Amino acid sequence: MTELWRLGAADIASRVTNREISATEVTEQSLQRLQDVNPAINAVVQQMPEAALAAARAVDDAIADGHSAGILAGVPVTVKVNIDQQGFANTNGIRIQQDNVAGQDSPVVTNLRKAGAIIVGRTNTPAFSMRWFTRNSLHGHTLNPRNKMLTPGGSSGGSAAAVAAGICALGHGTDIAGSLSGLCLRAARHSTEPGSSSSRQPVASRSPHRRPVNCGIRPYRTQHSGSQAWTRRHGGRQRTRPLVGARPT
C-alpha cells in the first residue's frame, strides 16, 4: 500500500483532483497515522474522525460529479486550538477555557473548508499561545517527533509536530513574535505567509482573555533537520533516535 501520509499537500490535491486517489483514502491513512504516532508526541489534542471522513466523502462526491473541490482537495490539515472551530473548545491551552466551545468557524477554518481541505484534528499550544515550547496543564506536553529531548517549538509546536510526523500535510499556526519561524528551525518544516499583510486572516477568537488579532504566517526556510540545526547552534551532538518515523524534509 502506498504511504499517502508521506505525500506533500500539492501532490495530494493534484492526485485527488485527477481521481488517481480518493480523498477518503488519504483521510483514512491520515487518521490511522494519527492513531499510530500521536500517543508518543501529543501533537493533536482534539480529534474528529467521523467529521473528517464525511468531509472527505463530500470532496470525492463533488469531483465525481464534475465539480471543483478546491485547491486543497482532500489535503489533511490540522488547526490550532486557539482559533474557533464549530463544536470544539477554543482552549488556547488554558483550563478556564476548556468549555469555551465555538458556535461557528473562524475565517481560517471556513477558508480551509472552502478550499477542500480535510481537518483531521486540532493541535496543542502553550498556555495563552505565549511560549517558545508547547506545554500546558490542560493538554500536556508536545514532543518533537525527531527527538524527544528537543522542543518542537512554540507556540505552534503542535502544528509542527503533526506535520513532521506525517499526521497532516499542512498545519495551521499563528505567529506574532516568531512562533512559526522558530518551530521550523526545530522541527524541519517550512512556514509560509498566505498573502500580504492586507490579506491576513483574523483569528476571531472567542476567548474572553484575548482579543482577536490579525496573525500572519511569516516566511522561514531551513534545509537542516531540527536536531541538526539545534545541535550545531549549541555545539552539541545528536545521538538519539526519532520518536516516530518522520515525514521526509
Lowest mean pLDDT among 22-36, 109-123, 162-176, 178-192: 178-192
Is residue 239 situated within a structural domain? Answer: no
Angle of helix 179-187 relative to helix 226-234, nearest 10 degrees, comes to: 100
Amino acid at 70: G
CB 249 within 8 A of CB 223: yes
Predicted confidence (pLDDT) at residue 220 exceeds the cutoff of 90:
no
Decide if 27 is inside a domain.
yes
Q: How far is CA 232 from CA 35, 47, 215, 248, in A?
A: 33, 36, 30, 20
The model's pLDDT over 34-84, given as tens digits with 9 standing for 90+, comes to: 999 999 999 999 999 999 999 999 999 999 999 999 999 999 999 999 999
Q: Is residue 217 assigned to a domain? A: yes
Residue 178 counted as domain residue: yes
Look up the CATH number of the domain holding residue 168: 3.90.1300.10
191's grid cell: 512556514
Q: For residue 160, what are the domain limits?
A: 4-234
Catalytic residues, by residue number, are: 80, 155, 179
DSSP-assigned states of every residue in 92-113: TT-GGGTT-B-SS--HHHHHHH
The model's pTM: 0.79
Within a domain: residue 82?
yes
Q: Do residues 120 and 78 touch, judged by C-beta distance below 8 A?
A: yes
- How many angstroms separate the first and last alpha carbons of the chain? 21
**Whole-number Å distance between alpha carbons of 249 and 28:** 23
The total domain count for the chain is: 1
Of 14-28, 111-125, 133-147, 224-238, the range with the lowest mean pLDDT is 224-238
pLDDT above 70 covers a percentage of the chain that reads: 70
Instruction: Note whether residue 71 is domain-resident.
Output: yes
Residue in this structure with the C-alpha cell 513532521, named with its chain if needed? 164
Average pLDDT, the chain: 80
C-alpha angle with apex 90: 167 to 185, nearest 5 degrees?
A: 45
The most distant pair of C-alpha atoms in the chain lies apart, rounded to whole Å, by 57
241 within domain boundaries: no
43 within a domain of the structure (yes/no)? yes
| pLDDT tens per residue across span 175-194 | 776 666 555 444 445 555 45
User: Which of 32-46, 89-103, 153-167 bottoms out in mean pLDDT, i.e. has the lowest?
Assistant: 153-167
Per-residue pLDDT tens over the stretch 10-24 = 999 999 999 999 999
What's the pLDDT at 223? Answer: 28
Residue-level pLDDT at 154: 86
